Amino acid sequence: MILGDSELRELGFASLGENVRIDRRATIFGHEHIHLGSHVRIDSFAVITAGPASVEIGSFTHIAAHTYLSGAQGGITLGYGSGIAPFAALYSAVEDYTTGRLTNPSVPADLRETSVGRIVLGPHAAVGSSSVVLDGRHLGFASAVGALSLVNRRVRPFEVVHGNPIRRVGRRPEVDLRRRDDELVVRAAAMGIDVRSEPGGSLAGTS
Ligand SMILES: CC(C)(COP(=O)(O)OP(=O)(O)OC[C@H]1O[C@@H](n2cnc3c(N)ncnc32)[C@H](O)[C@@H]1OP(=O)(O)O)[C@@H](O)C(=O)NCCC(=O)NCCS
């Protein structure tokens, strides 16, 4: 039940690559603020909000079922090859639950306090099922967040973290990942896709 090519074009995304598969039951707000690379899959019941801030979705990415990408206020960047597992949520704006401010978008904005910042996933970063990523956090190249985690700090390249709040539990093998990343870059280039020049793509050089 995916949208056809002409339907995708009519939605008016800011940019749209090749072989983009979006399930009809995904809910997307602010198409004109959303950039989509190539070979992207967005599954049923994913919800994505954008505008005025942009949501940049790189090539070879997967946004699984029942995910929530709240990018409207702070923006979200998903580097190529990154993935969001089912039921995970990325909040680029988070209301302050600790002070005397009121909360929730139905009360006037001047009575609330919201912390806002772009969430950036480097290439091949993986967010496990039912995890939550707070505003402004960066996940480095090929980092991994285990299931049911709260990402309340930066995750370094190749780092494996899990828990609430996250703690470091390991490091993914850099040599293997770089070799396979190089292979993907070459294959993408053969398809006319320059993944390293996409938003977040330059983070591939970090370690
Ligand atoms: C974080 C993860 C990558 C760790 O994998 P691993 O290194 O093989 O971990 P292990 O199974 O050896 O567990 C190591 C320890 O961490 C604990 N642990 C593992 N994953 C955890 C998680 N997500 N949250 C809290 N604790 C976790 C284990 O209970 C174990 O604890 P112990 O040392 O006290 O016995 C993995 O457990 C995970 O969560 N993967 C993401 C799965 C997912 O959501 N995939 C998306 C669909 S494909």
Residue 165 Cβ inside 6 Å of ligand 1? The answer reads no
Compute the distance from residue 121 Cα to the ligand 1 centre, in Å: 20
Q: In this model, does residue 25 exceed pLDDT 90?
A: yes
Mutation test of ligand 1: which of 127, 160, 162 has the most ligand atoms closer than 8 Å to its C-beta? 162
pLDDT in tens, 148-195: 999 999 999 999 999 999 999 999 999 999 999 999 999 999 999 999
pLDDT band at 128 (very low <50, low <70, confident <90, very high): very high
> What is the percent of the chain with per-residue pLDDT over 90, rounded to a whole number?
95
Give residue 64's domain range. Answer: 5-205
pLDDT band at 204 (very low <50, low <70, confident <90, very high): confident
Q: What pLDDT, on a 0 to 100 scale, did the predictor assign at position 101?
A: 96
Compute the distance from residue 173 Cα to the ligand 1 centre, in Å: 17
Using only C-alpha atoms, what is the Rg of the chain?
17
H helix runs in the chain, sequence order: 5-11, 174-190
What average pLDDT score do residues 118-126 get? Answer: 98
Instruction: State the CATH number of the domain containing residue 58.
Output: 2.160.10.10
Instruction: Quote the mean pLDDT of the chain.
Output: 97
Residue 62 Cβ inside 6 Å of ligand 1? The answer reads no
Q: What pLDDT, on a 0 to 100 scale, did the predictor assign at position 206?
A: 75
pLDDT in tens, 106-121: 999 999 999 999 999 9
Burial pattern 157-183, b for ≥16 Cβ within 10 A else e, equals bbbbbbeeebeeeeebeeeebeeebee
Q: What pLDDT, on a 0 to 100 scale, did the predictor assign at position 203?
A: 84
Q: What pLDDT, on a 0 to 100 scale, did the predictor assign at position 8?
A: 97
Compute the distance from residue 162 Cα to the ligand 1 centre, in Å: 7
Sheet holding 83-84, edge to edge: 20-22, 40-42, 62-63, 83-84, 126-127, 144-145, 159-162, 167-171
Among the atoms of ligand 1, which is closest to the Cα of residue 85?
46
Q: What pLDDT, on a 0 to 100 scale, did the predictor assign at position 205?
A: 76
Residue 73 tokens read as: 């206020």
Domain count for the chain: 1
- Round to whole Å and give the CA distance between 109 and 102: 9
